[in-house]
Amino acid sequence: TKEKQQLRMTKLCDPAESELSPFLITLILAVLLAEYLIGIIANGFIMAIHAAEWVQNKAVSTSGRILVFLSVSRIALQSLMMLEITISSTSLSFYSEDAVYYAFKISFIFLNFCSLWFAAWLSFFYFVKIANFSYPLFLKLRWRITGLIPWLLWLSVFISFSHSMFCINICTVYCNNSFPIHSSNSTKKTYLSEINVVGLAFFFNLGIVTPLIMFILTATLLILSLKRHTLHMGSNATGSNDPSMEAHMGAIKAISYFLILYIFNAVALFIYLSNMFDINSLWNNLCQIIMAAYPAGHSILPIQDNPGLRRAWSGFSFD
């Protein structure tokens, strides 16, 4: 309805809610757009390399398949966020329409959840393939993981879509039951709801917790396994510049960086979806910057650490 659209426009652009100067807003938008472009280029490169291998050889490695899914979700997410900022800045009345607004929110939640799940499965796959454990269940999982991954990826898509639809239904009820009142001390609009905000945040972030826990557990166990193996190699090494040991140390650093980036992104997404801060507040914009930096940083690191991708990138840059 027009009343809901006007309320949404008021909430999105009310100057009373803005804590930022025009210069700072412009700077934040410039940083976000730069992060979006870097993320799209880096993920597009990774997707193109593995997709070309997929088409040429009629097959692709399991890790390459996960990276294709992950890159596609991130390119779509970065493009969506860039488009949303552009439309909300240039045509707020169009952006505030119910169909447009909820389409952006559903897509945002869906693509974020897909990205979290795909990254978690990538960490899980590396853990199963690289970690050195002798438990029978772990060995059986290692033997079957290649056949399971395609099913797990599509299952993640289904779970992410179902959860995003569930979340947007709750958000619709939340918005329909919201109404503006004027504060006794100011004209700033306050939005009340019959729904418990804590419960709303719980449903929004339910899709974040499972992949986050899985990523943290698998990455931590993989780091511990590599560290134990590196210490064992160090006690038996004859030279200080053992290439194998350097490779293990590099893998430990890379996984540690991935883990830090993933946790920061999940926390920022949790805060952003929980609506803890005003839309135009500095903290809310900081969450957006972190969420935009994660796909870019998480994609640049594999290009630097993977010799094949690094050579392909060098050739691409040179050409």
Query: 181 pLDDT exceeds 80?
Result: no
Q: Which residue has the higher pLDDT, 309 or 89?
A: 89
Angstrom distance (rounded) from CA 101 to CA 72: 23
Query: 127 pLDDT exceeds 70?
Result: yes
Q: What would the pLDDT profile of 38-79 be if each residue is shown by its tens digit?
A: 989 988 988 888 888 888 888 888 888 898 999 999 999 999
Residue 76 is predicted with a pLDDT of 94
Residue 183 is predicted with a pLDDT of 40
Q: 291 and 272 in contact (C-beta within 8 Å)?
A: yes
Angstrom distance (rounded) from CA 157 to CA 114: 6
Q: By mean pLDDT, which of 11-20, 50-59, 187-196, 242-251 is the weakest?
A: 187-196
Q: pLDDT class for 162, splitting at 50, 70, 90? A: confident
Q: 32 and 288 in contact (C-beta within 8 Å)?
A: yes
Instruction: Show me where the domains of the chain are located.
Output: 21-234+242-310
Per-residue pLDDT averaged across 75-91, rounded? Answer: 86
Provide the CATH number for the domain formed by 21-234+242-310 in this structure: 1.20.1070.10
Q: By mean pLDDT, which of 37-51, 97-111, 188-202 is the weakest?
A: 188-202
Per-residue pLDDT averaged across 77-89, rounded? Answer: 86
